[in-house]
Amino acid sequence: MIYLDNAATTLRKPECVVEAVTRALCSMGNPGRSAHDGALSASRTVFEARLALAELFGAESPDRIAFTANATEALNIAIKGILNPGDHVITTALEHNSVLRPLYEMEDKGVELTILPADRQGRLKEADFEAAIRANTRAIVCTHGSNLTGNLVDIGRVGQIARRHGLLLVADASQTAGAFPVDVQKMQIDILCFTGHKSLLGPQGTGGLYVREGVEVRPLLSGGSGVQTYLRRHPPQMPTALEAGTLNAHGIAGLLAAVRYLQATGLDAIRERELDLMERFYRQVSAIPGVTVYGDFSQRMRCPIVALNVRNYDSGEVSDALSSQYGIATRPGAHCAPRMHQALGTVEQGAVRFSFSHYNTEEEIEIAVSALRELAQEE
């Protein structure tokens, strides 16, 4: 199989990640629940992972990193934990349903919602953020990179706008954490939500959020914490406040190994390799008659994603043909990004998304390009 669905999840993981998860499964107890070797090993691994992620994201302290099962859980915690009825929140048409659906829930509970539009190339206007701010605006919730087009948002500029107006910035780094430099302090991000199974190269079932010191987030869950058992309410201190129940320490062990791999290999080197492969693919497929490519490719700094359609074929039909006839794995359909498809005019057809890893090869790119040429010639 030629795997070009890395924006959904990276299939090929570094060998050190596989080894770390295997070791953890055979040795770890419950982190923070006892003082025997298994529990202490798990606790040390979880803390080292917090430390590594805090360093990766420029956080003030490892205590500001709370673990979740994925970015969706992190975004639900952030959105539902900072907004109240009567608040106003700004988001964008680029967002994934993991942002939109929690915001719609909060809108039903009395939160006012503004969704900034995108143009036909999936781009935002910076001025729209300023224009949307009201007296009761509480936060901006914004993706760092579109999971459909690959377009990046200048999250640092959004952070400046938010800080200037006294707003909270919640950034969704699902597509960018591990691929692009993210410094929460320099970018003035108050809450950063991330997942482990994409560009961080970790296992599924891992993710988390950074919460800036001084920002209070209501816990989404309460329950076992391993500490302060006799409190009636869940402990309020970070990161325990946002981590009810047993953590996925086995997965976190893999995530720690993945972050160390990224640091040793170099985010820049990995990203440049992925962008080289993406550009090689984009240059060729964008010249094929009958192929329509979506997104803004005028800047090199973008997620390594190419979304396209072949003539008027349904995207699912094209993706199925790529898989069954050529052994190429892609993602068709709506990509949990309904408003982005509305902006692109692809609601009915969807789109076929190709997304690249540094483990892909030039030969695989050429096979994918050749497959699209053949499919585009079929009448």
Q: Which helix (H) or strand (E) is 377 found in, with range?
A: helix 362-377
Token pair recorded at residue 4: 């070009």
Q: Which helix (H) or strand (E) is 316 found in, with range?
A: helix 315-326
Q: Reduce the DSSP state of residue 260 to 3 states and report it.
A: helix
Interaxial angle between packed helices 249-265 and 15-27, expressed in degrees from 0 to 180 and rounded to the nearest 10: 150
How far is it, in rounded angstroms, from Cα 26 to Cα 368? 40
Dihedral sign, Cα of residue 184, residue 185, residue 188, residue 189 = positive
Longest dimension (CA), the chain: 70
Catalytic residues: 336
What is the CA angle 255-323-144, rounded to 5?
A: 40
Give φ, ψ of 377 to 5 degrees: -80, -20
- Bridge partners (DSSP) of residue 92 are 116
Token pair recorded at residue 327: 């052994």
Q: Which amino acid is at 160?
A: Q
Provide the 10 A C-beta neighbour count for residue 109.
Answer: 10
Dihedral sign, Cα of residue 308, residue 314, residue 316, residue 319 = negative
Token pair recorded at residue 18: 């596989």
Q: Which of 65, 96, 55, 4 is nearest to 181 (CA)?
A: 55
Q: What is the chain's percent helix, strand, coil content, to nearest 5? A: 40, 15, 45
272, 126, 150, 317: CA torsion to nearest 10: -160
Would you call 322 exposed, middle or buried from its count of C-beta atoms within 10 A (0-12, 13-18, 19+)? Answer: buried
Interaxial angle between packed helices 37-57 and 15-27, expressed in degrees from 0 to 180 and rounded to the nearest 10: 150
